[in-house]
Structure formats: structure tokens, C-alpha cells
Amino acid sequence: MRCAAAIAMSSLLLVASWAAWDNSSAALGALLSENRGNRTALHHLRAPAWVASPEIRGTLGIVWSCLVTLVACIYTALHLNVPNRTGIWDMALYKVKWAAVGLFAPEVLLYIAVSQFFEARQLQTRMKALVRERRSSQPGDPDEVCRASSGPAA
């Protein structure tokens, strides 16, 4: 086990020194074949302090960064109702499920948000009607009683 770790570490440092030396796959193959089984290669090969990124991004890298960004944006934009089960894992799973729905079918989230908005407007209208009905059925509104007892407004 100890020997395998030393070989893995030497391979890692060889690859790092290859990146500083030459960025071609042929150069990497040559460096690895030269030092195969050499356990003292770590003494004379040094890894650079900084290794530049590749010049171009691959398709998979672009797709992954886009997916992670989309999921993070959807996850933070969701303002869900409080679920019945409020355990930390239950709530996280609940939100992750809705983030997946938002990723693959965003129109579903839009439909739910718009329907909740109109439902809230209807509730607001009914509540205002109830308040007007209660005020008209009560013998005196406290504000009206105060104005009547203080006399005419100046």
C-alpha cells in the first residue's frame, strides 16, 4: 500500500512537471516512459508553482458549468410553500424536486406562480368585501365615533 502511494505521488508530480515542460501528449508519454519505476524521480523533477489552464474549453465543461449555474439560479429563485414535513432532509428534497421541475419544465413553475397570484388577488378582494360588510353591520366605527365626538374638522 505504501509503495503504491509513492508511485501514485511520483506519477502526479511527473505529470505536473510535464505541464511546465511541454503541453503535448507525446512529451507526457516520453517523460512517463523515461521514469517508469524510478522511485527517485521525485528528487530531481520539480512541479511548477503555477500551471496554466488549457486554451479552449471542452463541450462537457461548458455543459456542466451551464447546468450548475441553471440549477443554482433556479434553486435560489424558488419560493416554495412550507411543506408538511419540516425536517431538514425533507425540505431539501422538496426543494431539489421543484428545482428539477424548473430545470426541465419551467412553464410548470410559471403556471403555478401565476395561478397562485390570481388566487391571492381573489382572496384579497373577498377579504376587502368582508371588512366592508363587517363595518357596515357594526353600529359605529371607532374612527367615526372619534370624529363625531371631537366636533367638526378645522
Q: Grid cell 500551471 — which residue?
A: 51
- Distance from C-alpha of 90 to C-alpha of 40, rounded to nearest angstrom: 53
Cβ(17)–Cβ(47) under 8 Å?
A: yes
Residues 12, 78, single domain; the answer is no
The answer on 36 and 82 residing in a single domain is no
pLDDT tens-digit series, residues 30-46: 666 777 777 776 666 65
* Maximum C-alpha span of the chain: 105
Assess whether 73 and 133 both reside in one domain: yes
- Residue 87 and residue 112 in one domain: yes
Kindly give the confidence (pLDDT) of every residue in the chain, 154 residues in length, as a single tens digit, with 9 standing for 90 and above: 455 544 545 555 545 554 444 555 556 566 667 777 777 766 666 555 565 666 777 788 888 999 999 988 988 888 888 778 788 888 888 888 999 999 999 999 999 999 999 999 999 999 999 999 988 877 655 555 555 555 555 4
In a domain, 142, yes or no: no
- Structural domain containing residue 19: 2-44
Q: Give the number of domains in the chain.
A: 2
Instruction: Give domain status of residue 129, yes or no.
Output: yes
Say whether both 97 and 71 belong to one domain. yes
Pair 105, 130 in one domain = yes
The verdict on residue 85 lying in a domain is yes
How far is it, in rounded angstroms, from Cα 80 to Cα 72? 15
pLDDT tens figures, 124-144: 999 999 999 988 877 655 555
